Amino acid sequence: MTRFLKLICITITIFVLTTPVSAGDAAAGKVIYDGKGACTTCHGATGAGDGVASAALNPKPASFVAAQFRLDTDGDGSNGTDMDLFNSIKFGGAKYGGNAAMPGRADFSDAEINDLVAYIHSLKK
């Protein structure tokens, strides 16, 4: 019995250590994306960048499905990182030389933005 308990403790410890603390919840992100975030208007229901308003946008929103991201918000030489998506959503496109039509959502909590980041990653096909 003690050996069994030890095994459970080790399993839980490994799980806790290997799960990133800041990781968002993609399912919760979808609820915001489709709902109060109104992200579908521009980014489209599947994230393909083909929302109803996208025709009027230049540059157009990148396709989350193709994971073709444009903005390198932290200047580390790669775009589409968790940090880049987080900053784009929190502060908007204009701050990073992108399309000002991408609204900053500093009204969302960091946890909500992390959920959106997780959802965007999950849209990749």
User: Which residues are at the interface with ligand HEC (CB under 6 A)?
Assistant: 33, 37-39, 41-43, 53, 57, 59, 61-62, 69-71, 79-80, 84-85, 88-89, 93, 98-99, 101-103, 105, 116, 120
Of residues 11 and 35, the one with the C-beta less far from ligand HEC = 35
Q: How far apart are CA 35 and CA 45, in angstroms?
A: 11
Of residues 9 and 59, the one with the C-beta less far from ligand HEC = 59
> Tokens standing for 10?
């080790």
Of residues 11 and 41, the one with the C-beta less far from ligand HEC = 41
CB 71 within 8 A of CB 93: yes
Minimum Å gap between C-beta 21 and ligand HEC is 21
Name the residue type at position 72: D
Minimum Å gap between C-beta 97 and ligand HEC is 7
Minimum Å gap between C-beta 19 and ligand HEC is 23
What DSSP line would sit under 20-72, residue for residue? -TT---HHHHHHHHHTTT-THHHH-TTSSS--TTGGG-SSPPPPTTTT-----
Of residues 11 and 22, the one with the C-beta less far from ligand HEC = 22
| Side-chain-side CA neighbours of residue 79 (13 Å) | 12
